Amino acid sequence: MLRYIVRRLLISIPVLLGITMITFAAYNLAPGDPISAMIDPSVPVAPEVLEKMKEDLGLNKPVYVRYVIWLKEALRGNLGYAYNSSTPVLKKIGDRLPATLALTTSAMLLAIGLGVPLGVYSALRQYSALDYVLTFFAFVAVSIPAFFFALGIIYIFSVRLGLFPVQGLRDPDAANQVLDFLRHLALPATALGLERIAGFQRYTRSAVLEVLGQDYMTTARAKGLPERTVLWRHGFRNALISMITILSLNIPGLFGGAFVIEWIFSWPGMGQLAVSSVNMRDYPTLMGIALIGSTLVLLSNLLADILYAIADPRIRYT
Amino acid sequence: MRKAFTPTVLLTLIVLLGLVLSACGAQPTPAPAQPAPAQPAPATAAPAATKAPEPTKAPEATKAPEPTKAPAPTAAPAATGQKVLRRAQSVIGKFGDPFHITGGQIDEWMFLSLSRLVFYNAKLDLEPDIAEKYTVSPDGKTYTFTLRKGVEWHDGTPFTAKDVVFTFNYICQKDLNAMQYPNVKVIVGCEDVNQGKATSVAGVTANGDYEVTLQLNNASSIFNHALTQIPIVPEHVVKDIPPADFTKSKFVTERWYPGTGPFIVKEFKGDESIELVANPKYFRGAPKIDVIRDIKIPDANTRLLALEKGEVDIAAGLPVAELERIKKIPGVELVYLDPVVPNVLFVNYHRGNKEADKPEQPKFKAMQDPRFRQALIHALDLDNLIKAVDPYGTTVKWNCPLAPSLGDLCAPDIKTYGYDPEKAKALLKEIGWDANWELIFVALGTPPTWYEIVQQMWAKVGVKATITPIEFANFIAEFYGKGKFDVIISGQARWVPLDILGTVHRCGFEYPKGYNSTQYCNPKFDEIFEKALATADPAVYKPLITEMTRILNTDLPTYPLWIGKSFQTMGPKVDASTFKLGCGYNWTAPHTWTLK
């Protein structure tokens, strides 16, 4: 297993290099430039100042030269400075990551905590009234646009009922900062979790249904094992394989943030940072986000493979 | 493998880690010991141009400075009972660099903590700020400023003429690439410093601690404008920041500086929030608000909901479409900002200076005729168009090349090319316009819905226009650089006449020399402009500006069509009457802002 992990990690290096090359080229070849994005088009700035700004940011060099410079610095752990604020990219990302982790993992916990049990229940009571209700809920949940649901719950639970704050991460004047943080977290986590609850419920349902029809389940029952053991030890464990795939696909999203939800709730996380950076054509920040994101995708794929082996002892890697 | 390593356990660990990190991050940041000025951010401790850099010192751009001075007044957390003004903004990060104001307009935040020598009032006249008074010699070449006595920087260091002299010397440094430099290089010796021929600007001198003289090579009306855009920075802080490192210094990235303005930056979280506390020693009087807390709420709907719930007291940039709903929120007042950005029709002359030009083509020849421009305007039913642009009644017709606040400078006999489709058709016929010719009707970003209405109105008189979006972040290269447009209707700030009228309309001022996107050229206009530029006397240059408006209204290289009012929404806690606007977007007296 260890050899396998090392080999996978080594293969990841050229893959990562390829990803950064393509991403860098895509960002830089896309229409628009950071200087234009920084200024107000209704108020012309002296062109000579703009030219010097371009020079200072190194934007007058060819794309491949800029990539080599970026790569060299990245290998030294320096991802550069954000164009519009002159803040080191790593600091910028580091400042945003905790907020995103808190939001996305809370939403994920909500999704797993509700989606998986409901999916199992739905599978065990296939075509029951509750199964239909849950299926209906799942389709509604995945169909409602996130921004609409988010604004809806803000209006109801914040503006009308006054139970939660409308936006932000904290109120600096709050007496109990932890409680205040949880109050701020509640609505965005719910808005973000809704679609995932539905997703997990549907995936779990179909995975469990598939397992329920297998011969080994009949054999386990024929052996006289209690139904609970049959379901959890033989059924759920085998259904876990597809759940691991779904989970591993979601891991990069934990760090990448949620663009729409962070934007609407003014949640200062990675999603909001990414949107602002795209609008500002802030290439260093975008490259930092892309590098971290692609590393996480590669690592989460590896993690999924390892978890397969844990969940199913028949899976072996050499 | 042990069962303990289940995905659920892993996820739980990640969640706990995230919650802990965020909760820790959510703790209120202790007030910095003070915007400790004595230890700025510099990478190398060397004043620009006057002292050799010390390359052996390691850059410390991201390391927190060690405060060495006692805390400045009031830099403490907002206590109970304090008057806190909470404002929701759409953007926070783009401010605070006094020499690279990328928005082009003076930044409100910066002047909450820094001061200028003078500022513009609503009529474009200069008023003293940190200068108590000023005089300009009859030839317009010598400015003498008498500074206020007893003013202190936020850290308690006395403000003197040395700070002013330092600021102007700093702006002239080449490595700083200050946005103000093009308008400041008229000072004697400024260009020499910029080119490395001198170490200090000869034309800037301190006469004692409270008087500064600026000597210009020639009188310049645009220099008056430059003066209103120069925040005076503290020499004892900035002298240690090499100009090349300025944008990455803590002065910019963390707003770690003392100013002389009414508010002190207490906490700046880039692109997220900023908190300022009152400076009780402010020279124009102690502020009436203890704390200003600005937070970024990027989504306009959320800003409105936050205002409705009372989480913020002021919400900027709310959608006009929500005006009726906003007015129904109890206690809310609207403060209309001085409209300074009319929507202007630009028609390209295609004189052959740009990649997209083919001046020999009959279509482009026809476009150079003023009658073509008149026809385009006569074809527009502006009353109905404005109703479509803004059904909420905040937009009005406007045909003067200057912003309404400068309406006195518009020529009284300025022509209105009213809606008259038959006249438009006749004019087009006169110039031999072919209805099959197609106009590239460019939009910056997503074309607004009213673009199609304009397209239809032009089609009715026989002008076919194809709407072509240019991405917002690409407009300099495509629009100004390559000249890829025939017509465009776009907002353009028109509140600093000599700055904008010159760069947009002078012969040969196409990009990159200027922003003459239409390639307009009228030597008569240039002659008047040069005369206006060469004087510092408003009594001389104001009538010349009026004459320029007349020429532009006749030639029609650009023609304002309408102007919309933007507004700030003030919640019930705010005394809206205390928010006074100067020229453009600038609040003139933040220290008088009051909460009920």
Asked if pLDDT for residue B55 goes beyond 90, the answer is no
How many contacts (CB atoms, under 8 Å) link A and B? 225
Instruction: Calculate how close chain A gets to B484, using CA atoms only, in Å.
Output: 14
Q: Does B272 touch chain A (CB under 8 A)?
A: yes
d(CA B50, CA B415): 55
Of the partner residues B179, B269, B301, the one whose CB lies closest to the CB of residue A151: B301
Give the pLDDT score at A152.
93
Residue B31 is predicted with a pLDDT of: 33
B90 Cβ under 8 Å from any chain A Cβ: no
What was the pLDDT predicted at B132?
94
* pLDDT tier, B1 (very low <50, low <70, confident <90, very high otherwise): very low
The per-residue pLDDT for A257 is: 63
Residue segments in chain A with a per-residue pLDDT below the cut of 70: 40-44, 256-257, 317-318
What is the residue range of A240's domain? 95-267
CB B151 within 8 A of CB B128: no
Nearest-Å Rg of the Cα atoms of chain B is 27
Question: Which pLDDT does position A250 carry in this prediction?
Answer: 77
Percent of chain B with pLDDT over 90: 49
Q: Judge whether A112 lies within some domain.
A: yes
pLDDT reading at B121 higher than 60 = yes
- Specify which residues B273 forms β-bridges with: B269, B295
Residue B57, pLDDT score = 34
Whether chain A has a CB inside 8 Å of the CB on B270: the answer is yes
A309 located within any domain? no
* Confidence (pTM): 0.76
- The β-bridge relationship of strands B84-89 and B291-296 is parallel
pLDDT at residue A299, rounded to an integer: 87
CB atoms within 10 A of CB B222: 20
**Biggest alpha carbon distance in chain A?**
85
- Interface residue of B94, B470, B476, B516 to substitute, partner A, most A CBs within 10 Å: B476
pLDDT category at B77 given cuts 50, 70, 90 is very low
Do residue B24 and residue A98 have CB atoms under 8 angstroms apart? yes
For residue B129, give the amino acid letter.
D
Output phi, psi for A99, to 5 deg: -65, -40
Output the pLDDT for position B473.
Answer: 67
Residue B151 has pLDDT above 90, yes or no: yes
Q: Between chains, do B177 and A49 touch, taking CB under 8 Å as contact?
A: yes
In a domain, A272, yes or no: no
> Among all residues of chain A, which has the CA nearest to that of B181?
A49
Residue B205 and residue B189: Cα distance in Å, rounded? 11
Contact yes or no for B272 and A84 at CB 8 A: no
User: Of A39, A81, A112, which is closest to B102 when you measure between CB atoms?
Assistant: A39
Q: How many residues does chain B have?
A: 596
Q: How far apart (Å, rounded) are the C-alpha atoms in residues A57 and B13?
A: 40
CATH of the domain at A157: 1.10.3720.10
* Interchain CB contact of B430 with A (< 8 Å): no
| Model pLDDT, residue B551 | 96
SS3 assignment for B21-57: HHHHHCCCCCCCCCCCCCCCCCCCCCCCCCCCCCCCC
On the question of pLDDT at B357 being above 90, the answer is no
- Nearest Cβ partner for B15 among A51, A109, A173: A109
The alpha carbons of chain A give a radius of gyration, in whole angstroms, of 24
Round to whole Å and give the CA distance between B32 and B64: 10
The chain-wide mean pLDDT, for chain B, equals: 82
How would residue B584 be classed by pLDDT, with cut points 50, 70 and 90?
Answer: low
- How far apart are the C-alpha atoms of A284 and B171, rounded to whole Å? 28
Task: Please check whether residue A77 lies inside any domain of the structure.
Answer: no
| Cα–chain center distance at B396 | 23
Whether residues A167 and B302 touch (CB distance < 8 A) is answered with yes
In a domain, A127, yes or no: yes
DSSP SS3 for B127: strand
Asked whether residue A25 is assigned to any structural domain, the reply reads no
Query: With contact defined as beta carbons under 8 Å apart, do A290 and A20 qualify?
Result: yes
Asked, for residue A187, whether it belongs to a domain, the answer is yes
How many domains, in total, are found in chain A? 1
Helices B300-309 and A146-153: angle between axes, nearest 10 degrees: 10
A149: which 2 tokens? 């649901």
Say if strands B567-570 and B314-316 run parallel, antiparallel, or are unpaired.
antiparallel
Kindly state the average pLDDT of the residues B42-48.
30
Residue in chain A closest to B295 (alpha carbons) equals A168
Query: Is A85 within 8 Å of B26 when comparing Cβ atoms?
Result: no
**How far is the first Cα of chain A from the last one, in angstroms, to the nearest whole number?**
6
Whether the CB-CB separation of B88 and B315 falls below 8 Å is answered with yes
> How many Å apart are CA B25 and CA A19, to the nearest integer?
32
Can you give the three-state secondary structure of B278-331, one letter per residue?
ECCCCCCCCCCCCEEEEEECCCHHHHHHHHHHCCCCEEECCCHHHHHHHHHCCC
Residue matched to tokens 């709903």? B325
Give A148-206 pLDDT, tens digit per residue: 999 999 999 999 999 999 999 988 888 898 999 999 999 999 999 988 899 899 999 99
Give the pLDDT mean for B203-225. 93
Enter the tokens of residue A86: 């002159």
Whole-number pLDDT of residue B416: 92
Under the banding of pLDDT at 50, 70 and 90, the label for residue B583 is low
| Closest residue to B473, CB basis, from A36, A47, A51 | A36
Is A165 within the bounds of a domain? yes
Residue B428 exposure: Cα atoms within 13 Å on the Cβ side: 24
ipTM: 0.80
Q: How far is B464 from chain A (nearest CA, A)?
A: 27
Query: Which of B 158-197 lie inside 8 A of A, CB atoms?
Result: 177-179, 181-183
The secondary element (H helix, E strand) that includes residue B364 is helix B362-367
The pLDDT tens digits for B310-335 are: 999 999 888 878 888 898 899 999 88
Q: Which residues of B touch A28 (CB under 8 A)?
A: none
Q: Which two tokens stand for residue B123?
A: 């009529």
pLDDT score of B586: 63
Listed range (A158-162, A189-193, B18-22, B480-484) with the worst mean pLDDT:
B18-22
Shortest CB distance from A44 goes to which of B17, B19, B503? B503
DSSP symbols for B177-198: T-TTHHHHTTBTTHHHHHTTS-
Taking CB atoms and an 8 Å cutoff, what residues of chain B touch A49?
A: 177-179, 181-182
Average pLDDT score over residue span B284-308:
93
How far is Cα B30 from Cα B331, in angstroms, rounded to an integer?
34
pLDDT band at B122 (very low <50, low <70, confident <90, very high): low
